Structure 1
């Protein structure tokens, strides 16, 4: 099994290891299966509020024990994230993953912007991507996700995210 390089992918440690980029409305909150249907992998998730919320984590690949030579051989980098809406409010979801050089310049990027989750979709959805042949020089990975409620209700009616994952093969 590959090691997940994301720390605290499901909110088991609150918001530890994540940096809030945007904390709109009432900000981020960690919930435990409140207001959404059952989902198969995690018991906790991050819930966004009624204005844009986004959080990020920067992974230092050298600190995880990967050598410059290995990283320059361009191993596959797999990313994954799970998202859903509450059962009583539509949501939007965003994901941006950037492969960064030592000086933090973007080498490659994958993003999903302003994906609306319709009120009729009651399931968790997975987004995944594999970076291949992206070029040498990757030393950091910046993983950012978020969203908001499509209704302007106070509280945490926005997107739910959990199970964030970055692995290298």
Structure 2
């Protein structure tokens, strides 16, 4: 149990991995950073194992604090790797790679829109045939215990998509909570969205969903999204995606 804690403040997130930095009142940054990069205010996060990180914090603490306050800082991190394309297509399984295939472009792109978060500088672009990409999150590997997961913690999902101002497109996503055998506990599978520049500004739009009360047994999360253009044009005129996020609130 975490019984003591000095004064630690979240000060940033690594630009190279999903590492949450905590700065103590003595000027020490915890936990030690595995890739030796300085903190940066981006959404690209590191695969810190929450239980291990929590023990490091506890061993250096000097003043009482509620345990869940520490864990919520450490564990409520984005579990998706490379959500904004900073590492090109690394960590993503390209389940559909049609047309001219997936590629990463710089914000705002041709006939595009600026993103609300200036720290997000890239996005994933789709082509004239269906492009889908997926990540399978192994929650025990990420440091979550069976007890935490069987308590049915809230799982929050967020994604951002937009279209070009010169070509319509479609967007789709699917998120599944899975048990240890990859059986589906609960699924979020909204209807595909069509963006048409003749009646829509095609600017960045957010889709979000929260899972709760889905039963015990959660061990994996599957996240898949993508789309294509509506005019079958050569190139990358399909939907653009970035800023994807999955957090588990323990």
Q: TM-score range by the shorter chain?
A: over 0.9
Q: CA deviation at 1:113?
A: 3.3
The higher relative CO (CA closer than 8 Å, separation ≥ 6) is in 1
* Separation (CA, whole Å) in 2 of partners of 1:149 and 1:103: 35
From the CA coordinates, give the structure whose radius of gyration is larger. Answer: 2
Q: CA deviation at 1:111?
A: 1.2
The answer to whether the Cα contact below 8 Å between 2:100 and 2:236 also exists between their aligned partners in 1 is yes
The equivalent of 2:236 in structure 1 is: 156
Which segments of 5 or more consecutive residues in structure 1 lack a partner in the other structure?
none
1:15 aligns with 2:89: yes
Q: Is the 8 A contact 1:93 1:113 kept in 2?
A: no
- Of 172, 184, 196, the residue aligned with 1:118 is 196
Aligned to 1:89: 167
The 2-side partners of 1:129 and 1:5 are apart by 15
Which 4+ runs in 1 deviate beyond 6 A?
Answer: none
**TM-score normalized by the length of structure 1:** 0.97
Q: TM-score, normalised by structure 2?
A: 0.66
Q: Is the CA contact (8 Å cut-off) linking 1:60 and 1:140 kept in structure 2? A: yes
Structure 2 unaligned regions, length at least 5: 1-72
Where does residue 108 of structure 1 map in the other structure? 186
Counterparts of 1:124-143 in structure 2, within 5 Å, are 124-143=204-223
RMSD: 0.9
Which of the two has greater helix per residue?
A: 2
Matched pairs, number: 169
